Chain A
């Protein structure tokens, strides 16, 4: 079975603080893909990053960075120097490749509130 767990339901930080959103996944697939999406109050999920299982290289994009560790089945997301515009719900997702289902499994999301 495939599963994505985002244990943090809600996080509040003060602007300029760093914050890490946790994502733990379960899959038996040897090849799989992990994603992060941002959902601002407008409702649309915005794609942030995709990481392939065979590429454990961490990635940095501006204030965003992602730490992928297969050994702990985690794909954590860090925002450095948070800003009020970062306030949103963030979803982690997993797509497996076996059995040809190509189904995306989403976590329950973490609501991030950045206070001015």
Chain B
């Protein structure tokens, strides 16, 4: 079974630009979550999509948005990039249900550098 894939793996942008990151979950998984990881702030939850609907949201400004498609693939968009948005963006997929077997599996991440 293929794992979670994220594209691109590396990205360099300049302040003010916008960026779109993509995540393909494990086949059969309906939940996709996004996290931002920086050395200073650790692993911070951005949002979660389940069956094309945003189910959970972290405390990030509206410049951070996402969506999920009918095939469960998800995209995350950051508009008007700031230097502080430089981070590793991790995507995780899971079945999305409350059962005891539900577990998040992570992709390799997209490392975004804002200059």
Counting chain B CB atoms within 10 Å of each CB, the highest count among A44, A46, A109 belongs to A44
Residues 93-111 of A, flagged 1 when their CB comes within 8 A of B and 0 if not, give 1010100111110101100
A98 to B111, CA, bound (A): 33
Find chain A residues with CB under 8 A from B101 CB. 50
Task: List residues 71-116 of chain A with CB under 8 A from any CB of chain B.
Answer: 91, 93, 95, 97, 100-104, 106, 108-109
Does A35 interact with chain B (Cβ within 8 Å)? yes
Which of B48, B97, B111 is close to A103, meaning CB atoms less than 8 Å apart? B48
Contact B45 A109 (CB under 8 A): no
Q: How far is the CA of A35 from the CA of B102 in the complex (A)?
A: 11
B104 A104 Cβ-Cβ under 8 A: yes
11 A-B Cβ contacts within 8 A? A37-B106, A45-B92, A45-B106, A47-B104, A47-B105, A100-B98, A103-B45, A104-B45, A106-B42, A108-B42, A109-B43
- Select which of A33, A43, A100 is within 8 A of B109 by beta carbon: A43
Query: What mask results when residues 72 to 115 of chain B are scored 1 for a CB within 8 Å of chain A, else 0?
Result: 00000000000000001010100011101111111111010000
Binding site for B on A (CB under 8 A): 33, 35, 37, 42-47, 50, 52, 91, 93, 95, 97, 100-104, 106, 108-109
A108 to B97, CA, bound (A): 25
Whether the pair A52, B45 counts as a contact (CB closer than 8 A) is no
Q: Is the CB of B43 within 8 A of A44?
A: no
CB distance from A26 to the nearest CB of B (A): 17
Residues of B within 8 A of A93 (CB): 104
Min distance, Cβ B105 to any Cβ of chain A, angstroms: 6
Residue of B nearest to A97 (CB): B98
Q: Which residues of B contact A45 (CB under 8 A)?
A: 90, 92, 106
A91-B43, A97-B98, A103-B56 are contacts. A44–B48 as well, Cβ < 8 Å?
A: no
Q: A35-B104, A102-B56, A108-B43 given. 5 additional CB < 8 A pairs?
A: A43-B108, A47-B106, A50-B103, A91-B43, A104-B104
